Amino acid sequence: MARWRDGRGELTVRGNGEEAPVRVPLEVAASYRARTRGLLGRDSLDGALLLSPANSVHTFRMRMPIDVAYLDRRLRVIAVRTMPPGRLGLPRPRARHVLEAEAGAMEGWGLRVGARVEVNL
Partnered with residue 26 across adjacent β-strands are 9, 48
Q: Is the pTM of this model over 0.75?
A: yes
pLDDT for 21-55, tens place per residue?
Answer: 999 999 999 999 999 999 988 999 999 999 999 99
Instruction: Report the pLDDT averaged over residues 5-14.
Output: 95
Q: In whole angstroms, what is the distance from residue 16 CA to residue 30 CA?
A: 28
Residues in contact with 18: Cβ distance below 8 Å, sequence separation at least 6, in sequence order: none
Partnered with residue 77 across adjacent β-strands are 71
pLDDT for 64-77, tens place per residue?
Answer: 999 999 999 999 99
Radius of gyration in angstroms for the set of CA atoms belonging to the chain, rounded to a whole number = 13
Closest by CA to 51, choosing from 66, 29, 68, is: 29
